[in-house]
């Protein structure tokens, strides 16, 4: 994990995620100042996920064929342009348009970066490597809003967009300088071809990939987590403020606590995922998260809410790191980028569905209904996940392919 490619990807994803999360909570406020109301405000949050749903699978599959690095760098540059677009926007329509454009960047960066890390990961250590790498995403997401609050307070609203653009440019520079052009898996395939050997296809159609029950299971998992996230993120701030009287600073701290706790737990949980039954870890993590999510609808005070969010961060990390390890195993069979791309699409669908359907539930019942809805969907998906993965290989014996350490140290 101390190799230059892993460090480059880690730094780039951390900085990119922090920049994205700095801006995301502010966009509805920014759009409202420019005249947005109702559904338009909702689109400032969810429109990126709509784009991600359609673009993510193709970005992952194409990266299996043409290499990962160009897609990741391009995604960072897309986000840089989006940040500058927010800075110069004159109407909320432009804000929404650049938010949609940023969905292209999301599709190019995160699933492809995880696919590259999957190529780096030794067999039998998938949980450990993915657990460490996940801290870049989760901790970056948790610290971004806090940094945005400071910047907005000291330098003004537009300084946040300038900071986001700067972070994206820095991340792109790090990857262009440090990241090798080809991942270990690509180098291995090229060496096999030169030696006259037979190489398995690097890219598979989505239908071919989804015929693999394990691929279908991890795609389902991404959707379940996203539905719950869409339901909770859409209404958690309102629940904390209106239901238990939390202040804006308390709300920001609660959000950050969940993300940072989950991120810090990932490396330890990753090691556990390499030693225990990953299927049961995924199911257990989902079940615990669902129970805790439902309890957010009834917590009596802020202290209980923070304790619940701490538990949600840990349980979510448990299921995600175990599912991520399974993804890598499945990706070696069905194409790493294809598998991660399908999960990206499932994530986008889940966020949009969770946000919209929980909104319907809130309108019909009460604000607390959003949390019960998200929990019910997650619990309903657990038996299907276990059925899809029954008897399937979700782990591999520990093995480091010969020559990988030397190859991954070369710059391209």
What residue spans define the domains of the chain?
A: 4-181+201-395
Instruction: Mention every residue, 6+ apart, whose C-beta is less than 8 A from residue 57.
Output: 206, 338, 341, 342, 344, 345
**CA atoms of 133 and 11, how far apart (whole Å):** 10
Q: Bin 90: left if φ > 0, else alpha if -120 < ψ < 50, else beta.
A: alpha
Question: Based on C-alpha coordinates, what's the Rg of the chain?
Answer: 21
Per the CB < 8 A criterion, the answer to whether 96 and 31 are in contact is yes
DSSP for residue 212: S
**CA atoms of 158 and 160, how far apart (whole Å):** 5
What pLDDT score does 192 carry?
62
What pLDDT score does 373 carry?
92
What pLDDT score does 17 carry?
85
Which ranges constitute the DSSP H helices of 34-91?
Answer: 38-66, 69-88
**CA atoms of 112 and 56, how far apart (whole Å):** 9
Torsion of CA 239, 240, 243, 248, to 10 degrees: -120
We find that the CATH architecture of domain 4-181+201-395 is Up-down Bundle (1.20)
- pLDDT tens, N- to C-terminus, the chain (412 residues): 668 889 889 988 888 888 888 877 677 777 778 887 666 766 776 788 788 888 888 888 888 888 889 999 999 999 999 989 988 888 888 888 988 898 888 888 888 888 888 888 888 888 888 888 888 887 787 778 778 878 877 888 788 889 889 989 988 998 998 888 777 766 666 666 566 555 455 556 778 888 899 999 999 999 999 998 888 877 787 788 878 888 767 877 777 777 777 777 888 888 898 888 999 999 999 999 999 999 988 888 888 989 999 999 889 889 989 998 998 888 888 888 888 888 888 988 888 888 888 888 888 888 888 899 999 999 999 999 999 999 888 887 765 443 343 333 333 3
Give the residues across from 399 on adjacent strands: 123
Per the CB < 8 A criterion, the answer to whether 393 and 277 are in contact is no
Q: Which residue, among 379, 344, 377, has the nearest Cα to 114 in the 3D structure?
A: 344
**CA atoms of 26 and 371, how far apart (whole Å):** 23
Query: b/e per residue, 314-344, with b = 16+ CB within 10 A?
Result: bbbbbbbbbbbbbbbbbbbebbbbbbbbbbb
DSSP assignment string, 369-404: HHHHHHHHHHHHHHHHHHHHTTT-------B--TTH
Query: b/e per residue, 126-163, with b = 16+ CB within 10 A?
Result: bbbbbbbbbbbbbbbbbbbbbbbbebbeeeeeebbbbb
What pLDDT score does 394 carry?
85
**CA atoms of 226 and 79, how far apart (whole Å):** 22
């Amino acid at each position: 994990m101390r190799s230059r490619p892993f460090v480059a990807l880690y730094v780039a994803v951390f900085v990119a995620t922090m920049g994205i999360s700095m801006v995301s909570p502010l966009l509805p406020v920014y759009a409202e100042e420019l005249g947005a109301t109702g559904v338009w405000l909702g689109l400032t949050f969810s429109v990126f996920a709509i784009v991600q749903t359609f673009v993510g699978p193709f970005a992952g599959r194409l990266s299996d064929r043409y290499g990962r690095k160009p897609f990741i760098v391009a995604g960072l540059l897309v986000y840089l342009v989006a940040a500058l677009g927010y800075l110069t926007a004159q109407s909320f329509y432009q804000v929404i348009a650049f938010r949609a454009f940023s969905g292209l960047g999301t599709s190019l960066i995160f699933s492809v970066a995880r696919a590259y890390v999957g190529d780096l990961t030794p067999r039998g250590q998938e949980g450990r490597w993915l657990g460490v790498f996940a801290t870049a995403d989760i901790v970056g997401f948790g610290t971004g809003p806090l940094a945005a609050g400071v910047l907005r307070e000291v330098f003004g609203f537009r300084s946040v967009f300038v900071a986001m653009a700067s972070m994206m440019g820095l991340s792109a520079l790090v990857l262009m300088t440090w990241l090798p052009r080809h991942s270990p898996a690509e180098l291995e395939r090229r060496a096999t071809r030169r030696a006259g050997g037979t190489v398995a296809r690097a890219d598979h159609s989505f239908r071919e990939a989804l015929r693999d029950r394990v691929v279908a299971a991890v795609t389902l998992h991404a959707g379940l987590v996203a539905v719950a996230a869409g339901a909770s993120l859409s209404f958690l701030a309102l629940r904390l403020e209106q239901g238990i009287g939390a202040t804006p600073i308390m709300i920001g701290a609660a959000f950050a606590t969940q993300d940072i706790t989950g991120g810090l737990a990932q490396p330890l949980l990753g090691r556990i995922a390499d030693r225990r039954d990953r299927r049961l870890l995924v199911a257990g993590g989902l079940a615990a998260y669902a129970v805790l999510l439902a309890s957010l609808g009834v917590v009596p005070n802020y202290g209980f809410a923070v304790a619940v969010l701490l538990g949600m961060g840990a349980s979510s990390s448990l299921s995600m790191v175990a599912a991520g390890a399974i993804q890598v195993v499945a990706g070696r069979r069905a194409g790493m980028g294809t598998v991660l791309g399908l999960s990206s699409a499932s994530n986008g669908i889940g966020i949009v569905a969770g946000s919209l359907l929980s909104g319907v539930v809130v309108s019909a019942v009460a604000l607390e209904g959003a949390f019960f809805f998200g929990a019910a969907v997650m619990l309903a998906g657990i038996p299907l996940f276990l059925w899809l993965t029954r008897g399937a290989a979700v782990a591999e014996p520990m093995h480091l392919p010969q020559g990988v350490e030397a190859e991954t140290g070369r710059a391209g």
